[in-house]
Structure 1
């Protein structure tokens, strides 16, 4: 693992397939979030799904979402049938995170805010701005890594085929 200055902002970005644009996320939490998504996707019974420990994300199979009476612990679990996943409200739209992690002036220059009917707004960063934007972030001291698979996993793409 590369060492980095404690004040360095780490970003992971990639091509978000669902939106056909670049998405930027916090590099310090991305791997942990991905592990939580993989763990929930790997659950085969409701009991397992309920017990997945979530630090970064909320558990859409957790007790605040579903009663145990509705789905006993030994009932089969399929992440693609969860209401929040079907509605595409979990995990949070990956392209919305750029609004939190990118400096405002770079959002204005390289992206555009798009308002969706159901999920609020997200930052659309066209693919052709990648080289310039990444260069500018690095000049400002950001550590920037491209990982398309991670970005799309964080967006919930292909959850049914995710294995732990």
Structure 2
């Protein structure tokens, strides 16, 4: 497996989508090939009307915080009870969806990480890259020079970060 955090084995360039992540007021990045589908999964779980509906959402690109792997249906609300995503423990704790700003740690080449940001640590959710908005044009130009296809979509980035329901 290639680890792009290792300069001897850089991750090949690909397609990225980025935007202004409102939660941390900085730039965030996602894999453009999977971001829209992951966002649909997040939105589907978040908009479920009942616990049963939420539990039944199958995911491919994210994890379901009320799925059987993470939430025992025998110890929680019944399937027909109204569902509110903001009452789910993983959401309350800030674990779901995972912070979109962490993705830059694995998506961006290490040299660009060092040039445009510093790793920042949250009290509960670990490290992320805080990439100031003022670096947008320079970083995007550098990513294109590295061979990345890149586009901006603030709404998608914030949906991936859970901003549509928090």
TM superposition score normalised by structure 1: 0.90
- 1:49 CA displacement: 0.4
- 1:136 CA displacement: 1.0
Deviation per residue, 1:39-75 (Å, 9 max, x gap): 1112101111011011011110111222223221111
* 100, 104, 108: which one aligns with 1:98: 104
Q: CA RMSD in A?
A: 1.2
Which range moves more in the overlay, 47-56 or 151-160?
Answer: 151-160
Deviation per residue, 1:127-157 (Å, 9 max, x gap): 1110011011112211101000111110111
Runs of 4+ in 1 over 3 A off after TM superposition: none
CA distance in 1, matches of 2:21, 2:121: 17
| Residue pair 2:55, 2:66 contacting (<8 A) in 1 also | yes
Q: Give unmatched runs, 5+ long, in structure 1.
A: 1-6
Q: State the partner residue of 2:90.
A: 84
SS of the equivalent of 1:159 reads coil
Q: Give unmatched runs, 5+ long, in structure 2.
A: 1-11
* 150, 155, 158: which one aligns with 2:161: 155
CA distance in 2, matches of 1:122, 1:97: 8
CA distance in 1, matches of 2:121, 2:52: 37
CA distance in 2, matches of 1:159, 1:53: 19
**Matching of residue 56 in structure 1 with residue 67 in structure 2:** no
* 16, 26, 46: which one aligns with 2:31: 26
Q: State the partner residue of 1:127.
A: 133
CA distance in 2, matches of 1:37, 1:140: 30
SS of the equivalent of 2:136 reads helix
CA distance in 2, matches of 1:145, 1:35: 18
